[in-house]
């Protein structure tokens, strides 16, 4: 494995769930990690668990100014960003005929538009240095549609398509852009009707997704894993 000791990583959605697990995994490997999410108290809890290698930067990834401030502050305090992990995400579920404009905008802005903005701001520095890793967390819902999840699936299908296209755009600069699509994961998406009746002990853990990210960012320079689909061993 290639060491990430001393590298600078930015992780969105780092206050809880998958984002928190990824941030702690990277910090444990010696990276300097900027933690981003809306909830400052949750970020502080992640920072306490991650130790001195972490830096708290409260951020609403739906807002362009917040995203730019996040990446500018991470670069000025920690150094040029080597690793960007987009793990921020929300889920609102229901029939399309009853879906509100507000929920539609919130899902697309958080799950997809934020990734476009973070990548757009971080790429010039990565291109100039000829290296970098970007990992976008999507979902199995970005590969297969299902009832009552149309908008959520649309956002995650978008993440997969955006990642695949961006990877082709920047791989010539030594930058790897990868997507991770986890199946049922034991997080706080409790409002998802597809989780009802599932056995928690059979679901993926956030740490399982963090392990996949660890594999991506420690590849040798000539290796590029573009997509990981991660499923529980047994159907929950």
Known catalytic residues are 152
- In the block, which residue shows the tokens 């780092």? 14
Contact call for residues 27 and 210 (beta carbons, < 8 A): no
CA distance 147 to 96: 9
CB 149 within 8 A of CB 133: no
Strand ordering across the sheet containing 227-230: 54-56, 32-36, 8-12, 83-86, 132-137, 175-182, 227-230
**101 CB-near residues (< 8 Å, 6+ apart):** none
CB 15 within 8 A of CB 35: yes
Give the closest residue to 12 by CA, choosing from 63, 48, 52.
Answer: 63
Block residue for tokens 């963090």: 210
**What are the backbone dihedrals phi and psi of residue 225, each rounded to the nearest 5 degrees, phi first?**
-90, 110
CB 12 within 8 A of CB 111: no
**Torsions phi, psi for 134 (to 5 deg):** -120, 125
């Amino acid at each position: 494995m290639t060491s990430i000791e001393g590298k600078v990583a930015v992780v969105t959605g780092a206050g809880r769930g998958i984002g928190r697990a990824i941030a702690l995994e990277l910090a444990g490997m010696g990276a300097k990690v900027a933690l981003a999410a809306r909830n400052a108290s949750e970020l502080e809890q992640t920072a306490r668990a991650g130790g001195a290698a972490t830096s708290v930067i409260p951020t609403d990834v739906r807002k362009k100014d917040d995203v730019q401030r996040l990446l500018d502050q991470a670069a000025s305090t920690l150094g040029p960003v080597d690793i960007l992990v987009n793990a921020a995400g929300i889920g609102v579920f229901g029939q399309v005929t009853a879906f509100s404009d507000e929920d539609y905008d919130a899902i697309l802005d958080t799950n997809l538009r934020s990734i476009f903005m973070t990548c757009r701001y971080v790429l010039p520095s990565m291109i100039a240095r000829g290296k970098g890793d970007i990992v976008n967390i999507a979902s199995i819902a970005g590969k297969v549609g299902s009832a009552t999840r149309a908008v959520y699936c649309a956002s995650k299908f978008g993440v997969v398509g955006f990642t695949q296209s961006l990877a082709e755009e920047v791989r010539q600069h030594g930058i790897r852009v990868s997507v991770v699509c986890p199946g049922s994961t034991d997080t706080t998406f409790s409002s998802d009707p597809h989780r009802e009746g599932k056995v928690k002990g059979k679901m993926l853990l956030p740490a399982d997704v963090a392990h996949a990210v660890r594999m991506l960012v420690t590849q040798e320079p000539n290796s590029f894993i573009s997509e990981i689909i991660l499923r529980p061993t047994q159907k929950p």
